[in-house]
Amino acid sequence: MDPPTRPTTGPYDYDMLVIGGGAGGLAVAKEAAGLRKKVLILDLLTPSVRGSERAPHVWSDLAAAVQQTVETRSRELMRELKNCGVFYIRAHGKIVESHTVEVTEVNGRKRRLKAEIIVIATGDRPQYLDTPGARELCVTSEDLLSLPHPPGRTLVVGGSSEGLEFADFLFGLGLPVTVLLQPDLLPGFDQKMAEKIENHMIVSGVETLHKCTLAKVEKTEAKEDGSGGSPTPTQSSTGRLRVTIITADGRTEQRGFDTVLLSVGRKASTGDLGLECVGVQCSPDGGRIPVNERDQTDADHIYAVGSVQHGRPSTTGLAVHAGTLLARRLFRGDTALCEYTNVPVVVLTQMEYAACGLTEEEANAAFGEASVEVYHSYYWPLEWELPARNKYSCYVKAICLVPEQERVLGVHILGPNAGDILQGFAAAMKGGLTKQQLDATVGLQPGSAQVFSSLTETQRMTEALMMRGNC
Ligand SMILES: Cc1cc2nc3c(=O)[nH]c(=O)nc-3n(C[C@H](O)[C@H](O)[C@H](O)COP(=O)(O)OP(=O)(O)OC[C@H]3O[C@@H](n4cnc5c(N)ncnc54)[C@H](O)[C@@H]3O)c2cc1C
C-alpha cells in the first residue's frame, strides 16, 4: 500500500509506526488501526548470505509449493492490511531521532516520517558460525527451501527445535541426515523429553553426534548428477562438502555431506535500527531489547514486541497476543498485560512435542525436588493400534507442586498432534489447574488426551521399580 498523502493533525505523520511486519508487528498494527489510529508498517527482509547469490530456484515440487504458499499468503496479508486501514511500505526502517524514522525503500529512495509511538517488531535472523567455510558454504533455515537442488546428505549443526525439525523433515523426505548437537539437545526444553525425542529420531534412522564441534567446511570436486532426469531427494546435483569435525574425545574426523544446515541460534535484528540515538539498550549477547511489563523500552514512546524482546519466549502466538494487547493498552485504555509465563510451545518433529509451563529442571530449581511430583505415562493412540506401532513412543508427564495442592507447573506431551492436545491444558493452567482437577476430569474415549485424567504413576515410583528390578 502506498503511504498516505492526506495531511495529518499534530506534529506526527502517524499515530504509530511499526518497524517489522512479522507476527508481532502485524498484530499490533491491525489492532491499532481497528481502534481508528493511523498506523504505518515498514517491512523489509534483507537477503540472507545465500539468498544474495540469487540461485535459480529449481528444486522439487515441494519447494515450489512452499514458495507459492508464501507468496499467496503474502498477497492475502496485503489485502487484509488494506481492509484494516493499515499503511504498508516495503522498506527498511531506522530510528534517527526521538520520534523520527528514516525509511529506505527497495529502490534506495529515502524519506523521514514521524510517529507519536514507535513499535519495534523486527524479529531475529539465523546466526552463522565463525568456522572456516561456514558463511560461504553452509545454509540456514532461511535458505533451505530455496536451494537450487535437493539437499542430499545433510549435516544439521545445532540441536535447537529448529535444527531437529529440519533434520526430521529432511529425513522424512528420504535424505540421510546427521545432527551435530552443538552445544546441546533442545536447550531450554525439558531434558528428559529432549532425550525421548532424540531416541525416537535415532530409532527412525537420524544420526546424532554429541559434544562434537564443526571445525571446517570445504568444497570438494563438483559432482554432477548424470542421470539426466529430475533429481530425486537423495541425489545432489552440486559438489559435495568436506566437513571437519572435532569429536568429543578430541579426534579430528572428516566426512562428506552435500549440505550443511546451520541452526545455531538466532540474533535479534537490531544492529541497524539506530537504537543508540534514542538511548534504547540491547542485550550484549543476542542484541535483544529489554522491556518492562508493558513491553516498553528505555524510551517511553518506543515499544518492542515479538522475538526481538530480551528474555522472553519466542512463538508466533505470543508475538500476536503481545502485539494485540499492546495496541489495546495504548489506544483503548486497557490495562491487561501480556503474561509471559505458561506459554505453549511445540517442536514439530515427526514425533511432535508440545509443552506448557516449567520443565522438570526449572521446577526442581525453583521449588526443590522434594516439593515436585512428576506424574507420567506412555500412551497408545487408537490409530496406532491397528498398525501395531510402538506402544512406548507416545508419552506425557504432568509436573506438580505438592505443597500447593499439586498445582500443575508443567504439562509435556510427546505424540501425534501434541500441539493441538496441549492447547486446552494451557488454558486450564492459566486457571491454576491442579492434579485433583485432572483426576476429576472425565476422559474422552477414544482420545489421546484422556491419558491426563488417569495419571497414577509418578517418576519416583517408576525409578523405585526399576531399582528393584535391577537388584
Ligand atoms: C524455522 C523456524 C520455525 C518456527 N516455527 C515456529 C512454530 O512452529 N510455532 C511458533 O509459534 N513459532 C515458530 N517459530 C518462531 C516464530 O517464527 C517467531 O516467534 C515469530 O515469527 C516472531 O514474530 P516477530 O513479529 O517478532 O518477528 P518476525 O516474524 O521475524 O518478523 C520480523 C519482520 O521484521 C522485518 N524487519 C527486520 N528488521 C527490519 C527493519 N529494520 N525495517 C523493516 N523491516 C524489518 C523482517 O524482515 C521480518 O519481516 C519459528 C521460527 C523459525 C525460525
Alpha helices in 368-417 (DSSP H): 382-385
How many Å lie between the centroid of ligand 1 and the Cα of residue 73? Answer: 15
Rounded to whole angstroms, the Cα distance separating 293 from 411 reads 25
The percent of residues above 70 in pLDDT, for the chain, comes to 91
Beta bridge partners of 178: 155, 207
Kindly tell me if the per-residue pLDDT of 6 is higher than 50: no
- What length does the chain have? 471
The predicted-structure confidence for 196-219, as pLDDT tens digits, reads as follows 999 999 999 999 999 999 999 999
For 78, the enclosing helix (H) or strand (E) is helix 61-84
Span of 49-63, 138-152, 316-330, 447-461 with lowest mean pLDDT: 49-63
Kindly report the protein residue whose alpha carbon is nearest to atom 46 of ligand 1. 45
pLDDT grade, residue 67 (50/70/90)?
Answer: confident
Q: What are the CB-based long-range contacts (under 8 Å, 24+) for 403-408? A: 403/367, 403/371, 404/434, 405/434, 405/435, 405/436, 406/373, 406/434, 406/435, 406/436, 407/432, 407/433, 407/434, 408/357, 408/433, 408/434, 408/435, 408/438
Span of 97-106, 161-170, 223-232, 450-459 with lowest mean pLDDT: 223-232
How many Å lie between the centroid of ligand 1 and the Cα of residue 319? Answer: 9
Give the pLDDT of residue 147. Answer: 83
Kindly tell me if the per-residue pLDDT of 236 is higher than 90: no
The predicted-structure confidence for 256-313, as pLDDT tens digits, reads as follows 999 999 999 999 999 999 999 999 999 998 899 999 999 999 999 999 999 999 999 9
- Give the binding-site residues of ligand 1, using a 6 Å CB cut-off: 19-25, 42-45, 92-93, 121-123, 141, 162, 269, 273, 306-308, 314-317, 319, 346, 348
**β-pairing, 91-97 with 252-257?**
unpaired
Span 10-36, average pLDDT: 96
Give the pLDDT of residue 237. Answer: 44
In this prediction the pTM is 0.90
Kindly tell me if the per-residue pLDDT of 234 is higher than 70: no
* Cα–Cα nearest to 136, from 220, 222, 219: 219
How many Å lie between the centroid of ligand 1 and the Cα of residue 105? Answer: 20
How many Å lie between the centroid of ligand 1 and the Cα of residue 322? Answer: 14
Give the pLDDT of residue 232. Answer: 44
SS3 396: strand
Span of 302-306, 312-316, 464-468 with lowest mean pLDDT: 464-468
Strands (E), 128-185: 139-140, 154-159, 177-185
How many Å lie between the centroid of ligand 1 and the Cα of residue 315? Answer: 9
Task: Provide the total of helices (H) and of strands (E) in the chain, helices listed first.
Answer: 11, 22
How many Å lie between the centroid of ligand 1 and the Cα of residue 136? Answer: 24
pLDDT grade, residue 49 (50/70/90)?
Answer: low
Q: Which three cell numbers stand for residue 115?
A: 510517529
- Integer-rounded Cα radius of gyration of the chain: 25
Give the pLDDT of residue 448. Answer: 94
For ligand 1, mutation pick of 110, 144, 269 (most atoms within 8 Å of CB): 269
Span 86-115, average pLDDT: 97
How many Å lie between the centroid of ligand 1 and the Cα of residue 48? Answer: 14
Kindly report the protein residue whose alpha carbon is nearest to atom 2 of ligand 1. 162
Find the angle CA(40)-CA(41)-CA(47) to the nearest 5 degrees: 150
For ligand 1, mutation pick of 307, 310, 321, 347 (most atoms within 8 Å of CB): 307
Give the pLDDT of residue 230. Answer: 39
CA 324, 325, 329, 332 torsion-angle sign: positive
How many Å lie between the centroid of ligand 1 and the Cα of residue 24? Answer: 8
Give the pLDDT of residue 63. Answer: 80
For ligand 1, mutation pick of 19, 162, 295, 316 (most atoms within 8 Å of CB): 316
Give the pLDDT of residue 61. Answer: 83
Looking at mean pLDDT, say which of 61-75, 172-186, 336-350 comes out highest: 336-350
pLDDT grade, residue 59 (50/70/90)?
Answer: low
